[in-house]
Structure 1
Amino acid sequence: MDDVFVHAHGICESRQVGSGTRIWAFAHVLPGAKIGKNCNICDNVFIENDVVIGDDVTIKCGVQIWDGLRIGDKVFIGPNATFTNDIFPRSKEYPEAFAQTRIGDGASIGANATILPGLQIGAKAMIGAGAVVTKNVPPNAIVTGNPATISGYVNISREKVRSFTAGAPDLQSVTEPVSLHVGGAMLYPLPRFSDMRGELSPIDFGKDLPFKPTRHFLVFNVPGGKVRGEHAHKVCAQFLMVIRGKVSIVLDDGNDTCEVSLDSPSAGVYLPPSVWGIQYKFTHDAILSVYASHPYDPEDYIRSYEEYLSYIPNKCMQG
């Protein structure tokens, strides 16, 4: 504790505080709390007993960290963010155990955000100011609003968002597969014929797609704000196209990320194995058509982003 700074008007009863941590005025840390190295606990912060806080965490003024909170490394918690740990709170009535809420490494919680009990906030997720979070938040997701919904993903800059709109020049100019610079993912143009009777977009499995499909399924009637995908495959490749409405597709290979917005069956996205895929921003009428290179196999899925990040270097060594 010699390397821990506690302001003259702060109280730190815990002996489990890492070196370099600073605890400022009118903050109060109870005896059971565990706090890592190089943290910054600002004025008027209260930290209860059953709390674990990682290294390099910043907690701004006016925040209460209640029993059950598990906070990873390099997390930022903005001023007056509110955490809860009891689903049905009553005065003088206590649950057998408080719900655990986990904040992943590198996540940021905006000012005045409210986090309901027992949720998982994924690594590097960004919770917008004033958001009311009622569901688990995936890694890298940006959530805003009340109730909070996913509005984007971090590490996707404006130039990495490509929108291909029916009839627009950007789609009409695509005549050959275009690299999306994420793990071998490609945008494939598809034939399209139009006359006074309507439009036709045929697919020749042996010519127009990057593989011969063994399975096909549709995703539709997705409620607003809901997210599909959030997994990678070890072996199976997929080809995704929108036959109605509009859908955004996020591709992530652990290093690079991009987002493609489609609203036409004139082009589709080739999603290779070992690339993390997410589909979101479904319009109410959207129908997403997916062709798969292999039959369904639950063992082929990687559903945890943390597991995926561990899998990629092992895959490279095997390859």
Structure 2
Amino acid sequence: MKYPAPYLIDFPCIGEASIGFISVAEYEQQIPFNIQRVFWTYGTPEHVVRGQHAHYETEEVVIAVAGTIEVRTESPEGVKEHFVLKTPGVGLYLPPHYWRSLHYHYGSVQVVLVSTLYKEEDYIRSYDNYEKVYRLKSQ
């Protein structure tokens, strides 16, 4: 089974350098799902790698509202990609079934728009388990 791939989203940017900017994210315009939850991370030390999980159902859009966040993804078929988020005017769509790891540069703040409410059973937290679930399906 082929799953949709992660992709970058450019949010509209309104304003100018002399007064500042605002970016907007709207359902069906930039966000491909109804937002059910929003969370943010901050104060993550540079040596810590966050994420390191996949979801069965949840879709997310990750936005670096401050600093730089590097996101590495892996598809169920084993395709790996690397994204660098460093402006609040760009988000990364993460579909279900993709393994993700996030590395935060000093001072980074992330906001995540999420398609589902939190359910622990939606997470695959072990990479070994992720490989078993998806690699066996693709054979």
Higher relative strand content: 2
The question of 1:304 aligning with 2:114 is answered no
- Say if 1:183 and 1:253, in contact at 8 Å, map to a contact too: no
Structure 1 distance, partners of 2:4, 2:102, is: 17
Structure 2, unaligned stretches of length 5 or more?
none
Runs of 4 or more above 3 Å deviation: 313-317
- For residue 241 of structure 1, report the CA deviation from its aligned partner: 0.8
Corresponding position of 2:94: 271
- For residue 206 of structure 1, report the CA deviation from its aligned partner: 3.5
The question of 1:256 aligning with 2:88 is answered no
- For residue 189 of structure 1, report the CA deviation from its aligned partner: 1.0
Corresponding position of 2:6: 185
Matching of residues 81-120 of structure 1 within 5 Å = none
1:238-263 C-alpha deviation (Å, 9 max, x unpaired): 11011001110001014110111111
- For residue 312 of structure 1, report the CA deviation from its aligned partner: 1.1
Higher Rg = 1
Structure 2 distance, partners of 1:194, 1:241, is: 19
1:19-74 C-alpha deviation (Å, 9 max, x unpaired): xxxxxxxxxxxxxxxxxxxxxxxxxxxxxxxxxxxxxxxxxxxxxxxxxxxxxxxx
Output the TM-score relative to the length of structure 2. Answer: 0.90
Structure 2 distance, partners of 1:246, 1:258, is: 17
Structure 1 distance, partners of 2:37, 2:28, is: 15
Corresponding position of 1:215: 37
Structure 2 distance, partners of 1:216, 1:248, is: 20
Structure 2 distance, partners of 1:215, 1:316, is: 31
Structure 1, unaligned stretches of length 5 or more?
1-181
Structure 2 distance, partners of 1:316, 1:256, is: 13
Structure 2 distance, partners of 1:314, 1:211, is: 29
Structure 1 distance, partners of 2:60, 2:123, is: 13
Structure 1 distance, partners of 2:122, 2:132, is: 15
- Say if 2:35 and 2:114, in contact at 8 Å, map to a contact too: yes
1:82-139 C-alpha deviation (Å, 9 max, x unpaired): xxxxxxxxxxxxxxxxxxxxxxxxxxxxxxxxxxxxxxxxxxxxxxxxxxxxxxxxxx
For 1:240, the aligned partner's letter is V
- Say if 2:5 and 2:75, in contact at 8 Å, map to a contact too: no
1:156-196 C-alpha deviation (Å, 9 max, x unpaired): xxxxxxxxxxxxxxxxxxxxxxxxxx852111111112222
**Does 1 or 2 have the higher relative contact order (CA < 8 Å, sep 6+)?**
2
- Say if 1:183 and 1:275, in contact at 8 Å, map to a contact too: no
- For residue 266 of structure 1, report the CA deviation from its aligned partner: 1.2
Corresponding position of 2:116: 294
For 1:287, the aligned partner's letter is V
Output the TM-score relative to the length of structure 1. Answer: 0.40
Corresponding position of 2:50: 228
Aligned residues: 135
Distance verdict in 2 for CA 1:233–1:289, change over 3 Å: same
- For residue 314 of structure 1, report the CA deviation from its aligned partner: 5.3
* Percent of residue pairs identical: 27
- For residue 217 of structure 1, report the CA deviation from its aligned partner: 0.1
Structure 1 distance, partners of 2:33, 2:116, is: 10
